[in-house]
């Protein structure tokens, strides 16, 4: 039953109190999880898990439910750098140091394997042989490693290898430990899983052969005792994931696949084995949908529990779920409340969530209640959110009513504002407020994996396995790109941040060790420039206060509205503009690249969209390996700027023909270029990029010119608005579909392997809506008159066309017969 608590007003942390102090996996996007954590000697310690998503996909005993893998996945573990790392952070200096990286040892069949592939648990404890409190961690070992171990450090810098928590005469080869707690002078641990057979790729990381709790008062001497019977007498208890001290008891939560989790507690008095009392079973009346206890925290004298179904809330191997996790509250007398979850009738009567929220804080995608922590009078609870996977899922198998709700545009906006992990807080256990509902503005942060209360504030570790490269779906198909927001992130929450600007840099140091000999360059950590630091400051400035966040969110929600951009300009709203060119130049923000554009969620201005379309056209050639060290012809408005933008492809030289300037010229070449394409030598180029050059008239003749200047096997990549000139609209005799007409014209000009994709939804339609609304507003504000408005619209890309398609085109010139 509930007990009276003397509560004082508490000022809890909000989103604006947090600063990002580590990103991109400490400079290596392969550091995916902040897997373990501790506060020791005025430093924050984080143990990592590397290449987590690659390993998850490789070990799944079922087919991955992805239309495309989110990250590149090799065919062997040996192609991954799985050496676990330990980093520490000093709030005084703001610097990070890597204090440990797993060495390689000879393992199964003579293969090299890391001693630790990850660090899943970490704590501070002083045993009988420890002259002072020590930092302990029990690494996760891979299938090829010789065996498990315990690591101890007395100074946080040097680590000593000890024997694992093995019982005398025991022969099981543990894969790792997850639950660890100091309690009444002993260190208590539980095996999380057994080490997999090196010959078997698929394993279960949450199932142990020996399910028990073991303890010792001296980890150094390696003498451990078993505290409970195997599985607490129930063979359906397949693992122990979490344990927590609350009051005079040590509580333990199990993973029970058949009936739902169980919670047990002991006072830990006297020698082992100890007396254990069952507090909850059958998943607190929810059955297998509460498969496991994943998190625990003591708050205001009561125990709070977070539940989950393994594998992200859907255990496909055992056909359980999907379902979101719950939050429960257990009182010292063993009674309990449902705080966040599904109302139900239990053996303790009707349970209705005291918060008024259903599973996952009313979020069905919150598969885990992953971490929870009490800090300065408030309880913080973090989730894992499967929404980060949604862009890569095979939506063709979704029910039609679900798929129709999530078109690409809706999905992009959903992910931006509600994708990623959530962090919630409460000061009384019943009334909850969100700290973040979108992974701290990064939907790749799919889970809150670390919560650490310290004298310096609350530290939050976000698991983010979408780095260093991530799959991106574009009009030209899937491709892997560098992800600047991939890799684990660490956030620091403090009330002191409310009025202080964020730090402009994140310091990273790898401590030099004779056994490692690694420099920052070897780790792939790039030095920051003054420009990048300034950009970081500007990007985070809006996160200082809740009001700033609200303003930023409102602007983002409406940022495609051109009226807001006009209102935001510091200019006199009265007075006519005399020049069509001046108005269009202003509309495109004075950039020479001018086209309809590719309006992704990251493109909110015509200039951004125009550059994005050019990048997409180049990406088509890049995917065909048709541009590296090749001669390329670019025909587009702003061709010279496009060449600069795409210099990463390193063409030998690029010929630029820009219809908006008097004469074309070549990059990386001093030879003059002819004024028009028909004056270029035959078979002089390996690839042609043409952005909005065929529109309206001359399609067949223009394609023949392109084929003439291309060498055999060369590629054409184009973006084209297709339709009929308004002055010829009534005369149009060809009613065949636009895509069909273009495909036939390409084949007639001598092209094969033709691919045409209509991107009008993210191209022409958005450009048409944006540009017409922009200039209509200027007309209503009397910044342009009716005649000038008509001329401007006609001068815009596609202004003289009745557009019925916006095509992204790729085609290859046919090789003559008899040639290879």
Residue 182: other Cβ atoms inside 10 A? 18
Query: CB burial class (10 A; 0-12, 13-18, 19+) of residue 168?
Result: exposed
Cis amide linkage into residue 200, ω under 30° from 0: no
Task: Describe the strand order of the beta sheet including 174-183 as a list of residue ranges.
Answer: 174-183, 186-194, 214-216, 225-226
Are 245 and 301 in contact, with CB atoms under 8 Å apart?
no
Kindly compute the dihedral angle of the four CA atoms of residues 115, 119, 120, 121, in this order, to the nearest 10 degrees.
Answer: 110
Tens of pLDDT, residue by residue over 2-51, are: 554 555 678 899 999 999 999 999 999 999 999 999 999 999 999 999 99
- 376-392: b (≥16 Cβ within 10 Å) or e: bebbbbbbbbbbbbbbb
Mean pLDDT of 572-586: 73
Fold exhibited by the domain 570-813? Rossmann fold (3.40.50)
pLDDT at position 506 = 55
Give 338-372 as a DSSP string: EEES--EEETTEEE--TTSB-HHHH-TT--EEEEE
Q: Residue 748 and residue 169: Cα distance in Å, rounded?
A: 80
- CA 667 vs CA 100, 216, 249, 632, 670: distances in Å: 48, 72, 74, 10, 8
pLDDT number for residue 537: 29
pLDDT digits (tens, 9 = 90+) for 692-721: 865 545 778 888 889 999 999 999 999 998
Which residues in 91-172 belong to E strands, given as ranges? 95-101, 104-106, 112-114, 118-125, 134-140, 150-153, 160-162
Q: Quick one: pLDDT at residue 654?
A: 84
Which residue in 120, 223, 224, 222 sits closest to 163, CA to CA?
A: 222
Beta strands in 184-248 (DSSP E): 186-194, 214-216, 225-226, 237-246
Domain ranges of the chain: 570-813
Task: State the helix-helix crossing angle for 606-623 and 764-780, rounded to 10 degrees.
Answer: 170
**Which H, E and C letters describe 691-738, residue by residue?**
ECCCCCCCHHHHHHHHHHHEEEEEEEEEEEEEEEEHHHHHHCCCCCCH
Q: What percent of the chain has pLDDT over 70?
A: 81
**What tokens appear for 279 in the block?**
């507090």
The C-alpha atoms of residue 384 and residue 538 are separated, in whole angstroms, by: 29
Contact of 610 with 591, CB cutoff 8 Å: yes
Q: How many CB atoms lie within 10 A of CB 336?
A: 22
At 486 the pLDDT is 97
- Listed range (533-537, 594-598, 723-727, 785-789) with the worst mean pLDDT: 533-537
Let me know: does 406 contact 430? Beta carbons within 8 Å: no
Contact 293, 329 (CB under 8 A): no
Neighbours of 68 (CB within 10 A): 16
Neighbour-count burial for 534-557, b at 16+ CB within 10 Å, e otherwise: eebeeebebbbbeeebeeeeeebe
- Structure confidence at residue 568 (pLDDT): 53
Residue 515: its pLDDT value, please?
A: 37
Q: Which of 333-347, 485-499, 542-556, 759-773 shows the lowest per-residue confidence on average (mean pLDDT)?
A: 542-556
- Report the SS3 class of residue 607: helix
pLDDT, mean over the chain: 84
* pLDDT at 544 (0 to 100): 33
Closest CA to 616 of 473, 415, 798: 473
Peptide bond into 322 cis (omega under 30): yes
pLDDT of residue 643: 84
pLDDT at 556: 47
State residue 545's pLDDT score: 34
Contacts of 528 (CB under 8 A, 6+ apart): 505, 536
Least confident piece of the model among 278-292, 526-540, 756-770: 526-540
If you average pLDDT over residues 443-457, what whole number do you get? Answer: 98
pLDDT digits over 547-564, tens only? 334 444 444 445 556 655
Region 358-364: what's the mean pLDDT?
A: 97
Judged against a pLDDT cut of 60, whether residue 202 lies above it is answered with no
pLDDT at 510 over 70: no
Mean pLDDT of 493-518: 59
| Residue from 17, 29, 34, 21 nearest 462 by CA | 34
Q: Is 80 exceeded by the pLDDT of residue 285?
A: yes
Of residues 57, 110, 48, the one with CA closest to residue 81: 48
The mean per-residue pLDDT over the stretch 569-581 comes to 61
Q: pTM of whole model > 0.95?
A: no
Give the CA distances from residue 263 to residues 199, 255, 270, 304, 330, in Å, rounded to whole numbers and listed in that order.
35, 10, 21, 12, 10
The span from the CA of 155 to the CA of 11, in Å, is 34
Residue 683 burial class via C-beta count within 10 angstroms: exposed 0-12, middle 13-18, buried 19 and up: middle
């Amino acid at each position: 039953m509930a007990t009276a608590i003397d509560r004082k007003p508490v000022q809890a942390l909000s989103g604006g109190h947090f600063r990002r102090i580590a990103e991109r996996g400490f400079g290596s996007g392969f550091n995916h999880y902040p897997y373990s954590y501790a506060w020791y000697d005025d430093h924050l310690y984080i143990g990592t898990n590397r290449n987590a998503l690659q390993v998850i996909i490789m070990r799944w005993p079922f087919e991955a439910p992805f239309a495309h893998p989110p990250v590149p996945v090799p065919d062997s573990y040996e192609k991954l750098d799985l050496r676990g790392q330990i980093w520490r952070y000093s709030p005084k200096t703001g610097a990070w140091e890597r204090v440990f990286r797993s060495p390689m040892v000879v393992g199964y069949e003579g293969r090299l394997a890391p001693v630790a592939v990850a660090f899943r648990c970490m704590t501070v404890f002083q045993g009988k042989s420890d002259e002072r409190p020590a930092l302990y961690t029990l690494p996760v070992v891979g299938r090829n490693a010789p065996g498990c171990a315990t690591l101890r450090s007395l100074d946080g810098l040097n680590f000593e290898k000890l024997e694992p928590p093995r019982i005398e005469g025991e022969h099981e080869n543990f894969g790792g430990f997850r639950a660890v707690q100091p309690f009444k002078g002993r260190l208590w641990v539980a095996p999380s899983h057994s080490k997999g057979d090196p010959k078997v790729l698929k394993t279960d990381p949450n199932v142990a052969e020996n399910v028990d709790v073991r303890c010792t008062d001296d980890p150094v001497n390696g003498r451990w005792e078993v505290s409970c019977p195997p599985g607490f007498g129930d063979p359906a208890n397949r693992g122990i994931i979490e344990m927590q001290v609350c009051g005079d008891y040590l509580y333990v939560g199990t993973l029970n696949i058949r009936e739902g989790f169980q919670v047990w507690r002991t006072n830990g008095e006297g020698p082992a084995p100890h007396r254990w009392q069952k507090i909850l079973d059958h998943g607190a009346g929810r059955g297998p949908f509460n498969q496991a206890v994943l998190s625990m925290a003591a708050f205001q004298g009561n125990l709070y529990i977070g539940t989950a179904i393994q594998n992200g809330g859907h255990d496909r191997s055992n056909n359980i779920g999907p379902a979101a996790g719950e939050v429960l509250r257990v009182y010292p007398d063993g009674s309990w409340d449902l705080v966040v979850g599904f109302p139900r009738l239990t053996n303790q009567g009707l349970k209705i969530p005291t918060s008024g929220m259903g599973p996952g804080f009313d979020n069905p995608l919150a598969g885990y209640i992953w971490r929870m922590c009490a800090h300065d009078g408030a309880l913080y609870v973090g989730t894992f959110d499967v929404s980060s996977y949604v862009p890569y899922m095979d939506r063709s198998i979704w029910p039609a009513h679900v798929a129709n709700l999530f078109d690409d545009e809706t999905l992009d906006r959903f992910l931006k504002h509600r994708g990623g992990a959530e962090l919630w807080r409460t000061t009384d256990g019943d009334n909850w407020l969100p700290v973040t509902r979108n992974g701290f503005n990064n939907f790749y942060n799919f889970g809150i994996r670390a919560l650490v209360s310290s004298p310096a504030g609350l530290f939050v570790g976000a698991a983010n396995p979408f780095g260093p490269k991530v799959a991106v779906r574009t009009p030209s198909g899937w491709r892997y790109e560098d992800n600047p927001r991939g890799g684990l992130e660490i956030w620091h929450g403090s009330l002191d941040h409310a009025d202080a600007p964020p730090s402009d840099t994140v310091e990273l140091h790898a401590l030099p060790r004779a056994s490692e000999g690694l420099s920052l360059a070897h780790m792939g950590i790039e030095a920051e420039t003054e420009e990048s630091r300034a950009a970081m400051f500007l990007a985070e400035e809006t996160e200082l206060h809740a009001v700033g966040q609200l303003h930023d969110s409102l602007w983002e929600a409406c940022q495609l509205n051109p009226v807001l951009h006009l209102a935001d300009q510091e200019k006199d709203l009265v007075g006519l503009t005399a020049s069509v060119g001046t108005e269009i130049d202003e509309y495109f923000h004075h950039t020479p690249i001018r086209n309809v554009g590719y309006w992704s969620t990251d493109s909110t201005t015509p200039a951004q969209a125009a550059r994005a379309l050019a990048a997409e056209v180049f990406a088509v050639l890049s995917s065909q390996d048709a541009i590296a060290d090749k001669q390329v012809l670019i025909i587009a408005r702003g061709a010279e700027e496009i060449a600069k933008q795409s210099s990463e492809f390193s063409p030998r030289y690029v010929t630029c023909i820009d219809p908006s300037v008097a004469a074309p010229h070549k990059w990386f070449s001093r030879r003059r270029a002819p004024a028009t394409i028909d004056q270029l030598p035959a078979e002089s180029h390996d690839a042609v990029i043409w952005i909005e050059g065929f529109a309206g008239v001359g399609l067949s003749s223009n394609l023949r010119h392109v084929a003439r200047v291309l060498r055999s096997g060369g590629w054409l990549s184009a973006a084209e608005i297709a339709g009929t000139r308004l002055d010829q609209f009534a005369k149009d005799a060809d009613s065949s579909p636009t895509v069909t007409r273009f495909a036939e014209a390409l084949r007639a000009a001598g092209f094969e392997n033709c691919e045409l994709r209509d991107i009008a939804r993210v191209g022409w339609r958005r450009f048409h809506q944006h540009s017409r609304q922009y200039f209509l507003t200027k007309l209503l504000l009397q910044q342009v008159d009716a005649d000038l408005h008509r001329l401007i619209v006609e001068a815009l890309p596609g202004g003289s066309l009745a557009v019925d398609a916006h095509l992204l085109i790729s085609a290859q010139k046919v090789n003559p017969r008899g040639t290879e």
